[in-house]
Amino acid sequence: MVFSSSVFLFLFLPLVLIGYFNPIFRGRRFKNYFLLLVSLGFYTWGEPLFVAVMLVSIGVNWLLGMRIARYEKRGRRKCLLVVAVVYDVALLVVFKYLSFISRTLGLLLHDDRLSLAIALPIGISFFTFQIMSYVFDVYYKRAEAQKNCLDVALYIALFPQLIAGPIVRYQTVAEELTGRVETPEDFTRGMSRFIMGLGKKLLLANYAGFVADKLFEQTGNLSAASAWLGAAAYALQIFFDFSAYSDMAIGLGRIFGFHFLENFNYPYMATSITDFWRRWHISLSSWFRDYVYIPMGGSRVSRGRSFFNLLILWLLTGLWHGANWTFIAWGLFYFLLIAFERVTGISLLKKPGAFSRIYTLFFVIIGWALFRSESITLAVQYVGAMFGVGSRGLIDETFWYYFANGKWLLLAGILLSTPFVPFCKQKIGVTNRVYQSISAFGLAALFCLSLVVCIKATYNPFIYFNF
């Protein structure tokens, strides 16, 4: 089920709000069980078979977490942690990577019989990383093990962030699972955040995605300007698509009393590639930093070992996004960029200026072209066209067509990917009452427009559903 679908907006969400905030059953236990039930229903709507995979994984990790908490000896605790990690990684390998591995072996050995086709459960990377977060936090004693398996299940399966994040750390919401308080202020702010995310998805991400899809379909038959326009459109699409889902997830979580951490911080305003990854998909980059990179030694080891750790980190980051050589190449691309910044000290500039932002955005857009391409061959052709290699010249009618028809939406996307709105608010200096009135009117208009688009639109899944 998609947040931006008619079924969710007109049926699922209203019924959930009525059931959760009913005046009869107000106990925390009822609210938790009700949320768990509707969350499992939410996942079952799209994955009626694979919900069992998620439930078994929750049960296995809950039992291992209880065992880890019971032992004091480091050896036994570490052994159980290894078992949990092996189980969770094996789950990802089977469902997400085994088809890719078998397909690659089939190509190498020229034997099609080796190729397997295993369906990918929606959101498996997200809920698996959350399950691992629970076990890690119990192991490192950052949080106590949950004695009630259903509370762990609620943490993993909570429908706002189940499918496409953000990846919520267990320690972040451990106390709120049983001790949260829902307030009218949280409800209002949560609903406002949800509406803003809905608008970003339906009005900006979907149109930018339409332009990107049309231009990437013409790989090998593009001018340089058209290739750059397609890559820029995809950069806007993936940002507004994913940040919209994060906005909607954070907003929905807040409605029910959960306070998830931010997942984006104007990444296209970054002044280095390192800075970009401090701002983009913060929950994933911090997860890899805390649970993979730092335990391997991080940058506190020898220079050669630190670069090896960085290589492993970015290989895993690329693989996390998908089982395709393009994602592996995309991860290696960022490894080279960040390694270059460490050697040259670019990311440590005290006074970054326009050049730093242009340099960062230049390579980020090239990276998105690689990320979006379906194969390495097509990626090379597309990126080559961006620099005039194999292109249809500098500029063509295709560029002018899409630019003329979408320039205002693309301009709005560019402005909204910067702190333009907060800057205007600060400069205008409106009073709280005036600002609240303007915001209320704007949100109402945005919601109505989004509903109109939603009713007319066809199925429009979020990009990160695939991961």
Catalytic residues: 321
Task: Indicate the residue type of 290.
Answer: D
Residues 43-78 as b or e (16 or more Cβ within 10 Å = b)? beebbeebbebbeebbebbbebbbbbbeeeeeeebe
Could you tell me which of 250, 265, 216 has the C-alpha nearest to residue 386? 216
Q: How many other C-beta atoms lie within 10 A of the C-beta of residue 387?
A: 12
299 contacts 306 by C-beta, under 8 angstroms: yes
- What are the angstrom distances between the C-alpha of 325 and each of 48, 166, 321, 368? 30, 25, 11, 14
37 contacts 26 by C-beta, under 8 angstroms: no
Q: Which two tokens stand for residue 256?
A: 């029910």
44 contacts 157 by C-beta, under 8 angstroms: no
170 contacts 146 by C-beta, under 8 angstroms: no
Residues 228-253 as b or e (16 or more Cβ within 10 Å = b)? bbbbbbbbbbbbbbbbbbbbbbbbbb
Q: How many other C-beta atoms lie within 10 A of the C-beta of residue 112?
A: 9
Spatial distance between the Cα atoms of 181 and 187, rounded to a whole number of angstroms: 11
**Tokens 């019989």 belong to residue:** 113
376 contacts 329 by C-beta, under 8 angstroms: yes
Distance of CA 316 to the CA centre of its chain: 15
- What are the angstrom distances between the C-alpha of 175 and each of 55, 61, 169, 181, 369? 22, 19, 12, 11, 41
Spatial distance between the Cα atoms of 428 and 448, rounded to a whole number of angstroms: 26
Spatial distance between the Cα atoms of 23 and 151, rounded to a whole number of angstroms: 23
- What are the angstrom distances between the C-alpha of 58 and each of 55, 87, 119? 5, 11, 20
